[in-house]
């Protein structure tokens, strides 16, 4: 206990946190503008007829055309966070608006969006505006030259969890022994200049798999350790540039490359800020205070709870029977990244007692992305079945029954039925309990 | 001068050293291919290159198939012109047989629903059935009727010609009377001419593009991204099987898709009736041959979807069987069920519908293999959307 209280008393310059705030805000700003420019607000949040809610978040509704307003709020908040103006309010509104957007539709779930939401949450409670910010420039009493060291370590710790858990998830027989799904994904890039030909060799996916696993498991420690840090950061650059080149994963590699700078020393960050000051001829208040920032007492407790949750939640899959990759019960929010090549096909039949029957054309109800996501994920299949039940009840079916003919291929295995075709999904409830109507997986994947 | 643009450069000297090491080793790794030693890649690994596959399919299958179709089509158009100038029994008979030959040859190109064919949406204008009788009759009275809009799909192409030469009367005499009618005959013949001319224009556009610019574009876009040849080809190829062979020729007429109510009038070549099985067989065989990369002229197999899947070692991990063999076996199972049918699918739907549904069920299994197992093994996303993954 002594050590913990000693640790909590340690202080450090807020420079790394200030740099992180600026970089993170700007990266997020860029991501959101890119999202807008690609027309994805329209195609993902306005056009679809139906949205897949998260369990317990059914009250989150799409805003229709006003989704653009939501994005404007989010973009503005990201900008305010970056420059450190109205920081507390901006960080809260950034967290709320970004998270709201992510909660609208499960089919857009990405681990790195979840990661961004969590970082936004942390930033609400961190004194990232006490240094090199407009707030601090305008309000002397905000300024601090020292903040608790654990304030910065929370960000590092969150990144460490992401990497380490992503590494743990790779310790499984598909990834390490069969180099799946990289054995499928890498040959797809064999026409790349210079390195493309490498992907024609069947040992290359093994090399990438093992390297990726070791990278994820070790990189947090290597970044944390001052001696290994420059090498580790080089590895971060190489690894993420490579993933950016090889896979369609958007801004994530760039965000990670920038976020990993947080591990560098105070001097490093001071130099960056000095360059920025010099480059943009920023006015600097000479009246430097010597105050130490003391966070409210509840913050350490709250964030302590937050991290306990973060450490435990990814292991909830252990509470479910069956193969995790197959049932996906406890799969999301667990840093399971790029582990599966999963494709599926789900054809629904709606019937009623009066003998009416039809095969549903999914494209009438779902976007292509939604159909693709739904067809491999049992909880979404059930949600969609309930939507169909209600839809066809309105269309004149008397207490419609909904059955699905599903077929899913996972990591190079031949496809098999995912859902029991004799289960009337209209009658099944969505709960956190195991879904007994998921058919067993005809293989074993060993490991985490 | 103190201001350096990007903070990373604070570590610039150290960084440079590391970058140099990495780049050197990368270059060394890349350079070691092909220099000096001759015993590098094995032929199996080469099978993963998509350029030879695209080249073979373009040069030995797609372009020659279009050329063959064009010959049959030209012959039909010629017979159609002869019939238009002289609507006699003999000319009707030759027009009909030329129409049958062209319709059969069409089945061997309809599956190339990517590139120029997709751009012109030629399929929509050549083979949407059942034909719309009322639409056709309305167009005959209005020579300026728009034939470019979706509503006009069922008023043109082979199904419309089917109606015009096989369906406008119960007997040949009645059909001929339809065209020799003193007031309306000329307009009716003019519509036939309008249809064949329009088909020729579209077909010429598609063939010209393949023969000039598109062939090179096709074989050069070797990626697997949203606009790559392989992705477009596989998307079109899978869609064709599911929607136009499985559903169009069997699923919809047999009622297997909707309510179980058979609709015999929805078979292909409904008015001619006795060639619907031939058309389906031809389409199915062309499909299988394309999968196996069978050259049109020589009949020899070359680089294809099959060889690509084999090179990727796409297998059923439980049995160790090649996915391509499993797919071919399923094609064969479908073929066995098709071969059991009688020439008129209209009659089969009415009298022997369980055999039609049996074909549909076999094809459903093939659809899953193509749409899920094959595309997954190839890392091609079906029903493409542009979005990030992680």
Tens of pLDDT, residue by residue over A52-108, are 999 999 999 999 999 999 999 999 999 999 999 999 999 999 999 999 999 999 999
Quick: pLDDT tens for B224-258. 887 899 999 999 999 999 999 999 999 999 988 76
121-180 in chain A: CB under 8 A from chain B: none
With cut-offs at 50, 70 and 90, classify the pLDDT of residue A448.
confident
Tokens at B370, concatenated: 């193509």
Residue B190 has pLDDT above 60, yes or no: yes
Partners of A344 on chain B (C-beta within 8 Å) are: 372
Minimum distance, in Å, between the CA of residue B267 and any CA atom of chain A: 20
Looking at chain A, the whole-number percentage of residues with pLDDT higher than 70 is: 98
Lowest mean pLDDT among A110-124, A340-354, B117-131, B245-259: B245-259
Residues in B touching A116 (Cβ below 8 Å): none
Give the per-residue pLDDT at A299.
94
Q: Is residue B208 part of a domain?
A: yes
Q: Is the pLDDT of residue B15 over 70?
A: no
Quote the CA–CA distance of B62 and B364 in Å, as a whole number: 26
State yes or no: pLDDT of A342 exceeds 70: yes
Cβ–Cβ under 8 Å, residues B236 and B119: no
Residue A278 — pLDDT band, cuts 50, 70, 90?
confident
pLDDT tens for B122-176 read: 999 999 999 999 999 999 999 999 999 999 999 999 999 999 999 999 999 999 9
What confidence tens digit (pLDDT) does each residue in A366-408 have? 999 999 999 999 999 999 999 999 999 999 999 999 999 999 9
Cβ B11–A230 below 8 Å, yes or no? Answer: yes
Give the pLDDT confidence of A225-246 residue by residue, as tens digits: 999 999 999 999 999 999 999 9
Give me chain B's average pLDDT, please: 88
Task: Measure in Å the smallest separation between the Cα of B316 and chain A Cα atoms.
Answer: 5
ipTM over 0.85: yes
Confidence of residue A286 (pLDDT cuts 50, 70, 90): low
**What pLDDT is stored for residue B224 in this prediction?**
86
Q: What is the pLDDT of residue B389?
A: 58
- The residue segments making up the domain with residue B139 are 50-378
Q: Does pLDDT of A207 surpass 70?
A: yes
pLDDT of residue B383: 58
Residues of B in contact with A251 (CB under 8 A): 388
How far apart, in Å, are the Cα atoms of B289 and each of A291, A343, B109, B235, B372? Answer: 79, 26, 12, 17, 20
DSSP state of B8: G
Q: Are B109 and B158 in contact (CB under 8 A)?
A: no
Say what the pLDDT of residue B385 is: 47
Q: Find the closest chain A residue to B47 by CA distance.
A: A200
Separation of alpha carbons B302 and B59, rounded Å: 11
Write the secondary structure of B262-324 as one string of H (helix), E (strand) and C (coil): CCHHHCCCCCCCCCHHHHHHHHHHHHHHHHCCECCCCCCECCCHHHHHHHCCCECCCCCCEHH
The domain locations on chain A are 10-145+265-295, 162-264, 324-427
Joined tokens for residue B263: 């609709």
Number of independent structural domains in chain B: 1
Q: Which residue has the tokens 């590494």?
A: A167
Determine if the peptide bond prior to A181 is cis (ω within 30°). yes
pLDDT in tens, A250-273: 889 999 999 999 999 999 999 999
Report DSSP state, residue A173: H
pLDDT-wise least confident of A164-168, A169-173, B71-75, B261-265: B261-265
* H or E stretch at B164: none
**Does A76 contact chain B (CB < 8 Å)?**
no
Q: Which residue of A412, A418, A443, A444 to mutate against B (max B Cβ within 10 Å)? A: A412
Is residue B314 assigned to a domain? Answer: yes
What average pLDDT does this structure show over B322-332? 97
Given A183, A201, A407, which is nearest B368 (Cβ)? A407
Q: Decide if B199 is inside a domain.
A: yes
B22 and A337 in contact by Cβ < 8 A? no
The pLDDT value given to residue B8 = 37
Q: What is the mean pLDDT of residues A342-347?
A: 93
Q: Which of A286-295, A351-360, B48-57, B374-383 has the highest mean pLDDT?
A: B48-57
Distance (Å) from the C-alpha of residue B332 to the closest C-alpha of chain A? 19
- Choose among A43, A201, A250: nearest Cβ to B45: A201
Domain containing residue B117: CATH number: 1.20.1420.20
Strands (E), A294-368: 342-351, 357-359
Spatial separation of the C-alpha atoms in residues A293 and B373, rounded to whole Å? 58
- Banded model confidence at residue A1, pLDDT cuts 50, 70, 90: low
Are the C-beta atoms of residues A133 and A83 closer than 8 Å to each other? yes
Res A285: pLDDT? 64
Nearest-CA distance from A412 to chain B in Å? 6
Mean pLDDT for all residues in chain A: 94
The string of pLDDT tens digits covering residues B81-90 is: 999 999 999 9
Q: What is the pLDDT of residue B67?
A: 97
Q: Tell whether the model's pLDDT for residue B20 goes beyond 60.
A: no
Q: Lowest mean pLDDT: which of A32-46, A220-234, A281-295?
A: A281-295
In chain B, % of residues over pLDDT 90: 79
């Amino acid at each position: 206990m002594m050590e913990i209280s000693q640790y909590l008393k340690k202080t450090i310059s807020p420079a790394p946190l200030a740099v992180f705030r600026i970089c993170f805000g700007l990266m997020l700003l860029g991501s959101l503008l890119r999202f807008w420019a690609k027309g994805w607000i329209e195609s993902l949040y306005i056009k679809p007829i139906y949205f897949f809610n998260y369990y317990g978040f059914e009250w989150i509704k799409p805003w229709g055309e006003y989704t653009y307003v939501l994005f404007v709020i989010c973009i503005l908040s990201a900008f305010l966070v970056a420059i450190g103006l109205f920081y507390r309010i901006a960080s809260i509104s950034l967290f709320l608006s970004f998270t709201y957007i992510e909660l609208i539709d499960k089919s857009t779930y990405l681990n790195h969006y979840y990661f961004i939401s969590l970082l936004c949450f942390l930033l609400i409670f961190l004194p990232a505006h006490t240094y090199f910010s407009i707030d601090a420039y305008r309000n002397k009493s905000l300024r601090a030259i020292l903040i608790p060291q654990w304030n910065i370590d929370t960000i590092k710790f969150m990144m460490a969890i992401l990497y380490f858990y992503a590494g743990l998830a790779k310790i499984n027989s598909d990834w390490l022994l069969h180099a799946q799904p990289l054995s499928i994904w890498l040959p797809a890039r064999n026409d790349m200049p210079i390195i493309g030909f490498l992907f024609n060799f069947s040992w290359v996916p093994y090399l990438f798999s093992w390297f990726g696993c070791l990278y994820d498991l070790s990189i947090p420690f290597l970044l944390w350790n001052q001696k290994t840090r420059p090498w580790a950061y080089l590895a971060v650059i190489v690894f993420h540039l490579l993933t950016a080149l090889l896979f369609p994963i958007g801004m994530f590699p760039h965000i990670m490359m920038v976020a990993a700078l947080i591990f560098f020393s105070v001097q490093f960050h001071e130099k960056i800020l000095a360059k920025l000051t010099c480059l943009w001829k920023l006015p600097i208040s000479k009246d430097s205070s010597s105050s130490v920032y003391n966070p409210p007492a509840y913050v350490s407790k709250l964030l302590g709870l937050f991290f306990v949750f973060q450490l435990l939640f990814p292991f909830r899959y252990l509470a479910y029977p069956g193969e995790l990759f197959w049932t996906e019960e406890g799969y999301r929010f667990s840093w399971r990244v790029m582990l599966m090549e999963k494709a599926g096909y789900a054809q629904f039949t709606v019937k009623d007692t009066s003998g009416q029957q039809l095969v549903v054309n999914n494209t009438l109800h779902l976007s292509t992305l939604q159909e693709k996501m739904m067809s491999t994920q049992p909880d979404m299949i059930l949600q969609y079945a309930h939507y169909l039940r209600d839809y066809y009840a309105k269309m004149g079916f008397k207490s419609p029954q909904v059955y699905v003919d599903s077929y899913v291929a996972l990591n190079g295995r031949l496809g098999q039925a995912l859902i029991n075709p004799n289960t009337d999904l209209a009658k099944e409830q969505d709960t956190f309990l195991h879904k007994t109507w998921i058919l067993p997986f005809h293989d074993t994947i060993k490991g985490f | 001068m103190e201001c350096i643009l990007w903070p990373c450069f604070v570590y610039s000297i150290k960084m440079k050293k590391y970058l140099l090491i990495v780049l050197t080793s990368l270059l060394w790794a890349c350079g070691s291919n092909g220099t000096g030693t001759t015993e590098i890649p094995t032929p199996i690994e080469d099978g993963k290159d998509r350029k030879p596959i695209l080249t073979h399919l373009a040069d030995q299958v797609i372009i020659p198939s279009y050329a063959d179709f064009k010959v049959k089509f030209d012959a039909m158009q010629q017979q159609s012109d002869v019939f238009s100038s002289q609507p006699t029994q003999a000319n009707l008979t030759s027009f009909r047989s030329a129409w049958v030959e062209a319709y059969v040859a069409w089945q061997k190109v309809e599956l190339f629903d990517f590139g120029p064919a997709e751009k012109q949406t030629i399929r929509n204008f050549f083979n949407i059935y059942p034909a719309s009788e009322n639409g056709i009759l309305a167009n005959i009275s209005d020579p300026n009727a728009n034939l470019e809009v979706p509503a006009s799909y069922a008023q043109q192409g082979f199904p419309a010609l089917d109606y015009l030469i096989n369906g406008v009367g119960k007997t040949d005499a009645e059909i001929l009377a339809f065209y020799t009618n003193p007031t309306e005959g000329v307009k009716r013949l003019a519509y036939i001419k309008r249809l064949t001319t329009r088909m020729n224009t579209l077909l010429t556009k598609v063939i010209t593009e393949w023969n000039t610019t598109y062939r090179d574009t096709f074989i050069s876009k070797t990626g697997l991204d949203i606009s790559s040849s392989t992705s477009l080809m596989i998307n079109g190829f899978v869609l064709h099987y599911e929607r136009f062979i499985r559903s169009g020729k069997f699923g919809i007429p047999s009622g297997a898709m909707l309510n179980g109510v058979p609709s015999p009038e929805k078979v292909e070549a409904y008015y001619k009736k006795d060639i619907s099985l031939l058309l389906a067989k031809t389409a199915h065989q062309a499909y299988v041959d394309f999968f196996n990369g069978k050259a049109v002229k020589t009949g020899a197999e070359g680089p294809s979807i099959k060889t690509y899947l084999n090179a990727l070692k796409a297998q059923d991990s439980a049995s160790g069987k090649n996915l391509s063999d499993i797919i071919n076996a399923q094609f064969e199972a479908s073929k066995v069920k098709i071969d059991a049918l009688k020439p008129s699918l209209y009659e089969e739907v009415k009298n022997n519908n369980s055999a039609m549904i049996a074909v549909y069920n076999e094809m459903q299994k093939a659809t899953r293999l193509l749409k899920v197992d094959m595309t997954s093994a190839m890392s091609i996303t079906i029903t493409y959307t542009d979005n990030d993954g992680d």
